[in-house]
Homo-oligomer: A and B are copies of this chain.
Amino acid sequence: MHDPAPPILASEWLNTPAPLALETLRGRVVAVECFQMLCPGCVSHGLPQAQRIAQTFRAEDVVVIGLHCVFEHHDAQGPVSLAAFLHEYRIRFPVAVDMVGTDGPLPQTMARYALEGTPTLLLIDRSGRLRARHFGSVPDLALGADIMALVREGMNAD
């Protein structure tokens, strides 16, 4: 059994005309790239991989979302900085700013998902269940296979 993915609690969205909600994305696989703009591993590996996911899969099969989970250097990674960062790095997919936590440095979605740090890639299936949580780096070949396995669930073979 897999748990339903908790909702994304965002104080702001960038790169999208309107906020997204996971429950409106049912029927599609969702890849959520949890990152911080000043996290070196996110910049060198996590975000480029998320961009490759967006370029490789069809939009009707896979939605890519960024989640900016600021848990350190809050002053340096605010929304103005994030917008400049996304512009410079040519990141076009929708990005949610994780809601500031009420007790402690962890933002709310990050805490709810019990993330260990950034980058973390979450995979949510067509039914809205959390199916994978990769902290750190995951090889492209295995990831491509994992995403396609989710895409193919509940579909007939060719």
Contact = CB atoms under 8 A, between A and B. Distances in A.
Interface of A: 38-40, 43-44, 49, 52-53, 56-57, 73, 75-77, 80-81, 83-85, 87-89, 139-149, 151-155, 157-158
A56 B149 CA distance: 14
Nearest to A152: B152
Contact of A145 (B88, B147, B157): B147
Contacts of A151: 145, 149
B56 A141 contact: yes
Contacts of A73: 84, 87-88
Q: Which of A38, A53, A76 has the most CB of B within 10 A?
A: A76
24 contacts: A38-B84, A40-B88, A40-B89, A44-B44, A56-B139, A57-B145, A73-B87, A75-B81, A75-B84, A76-B80, A76-B81, A76-B83, A81-B81, A140-B140, A141-B141, A141-B143, A141-B144, A143-B144, A145-B145, A148-B148, A148-B149, A148-B152, A149-B152, A153-B158
A157 B152 contact: yes
Nearest to A82: B76
Contact of A75 (B80, B87, B145, B147): B80
A130 to B, nearest CB: 14
A80 to B, nearest CB: 5
A145 B152 CA distance: 10
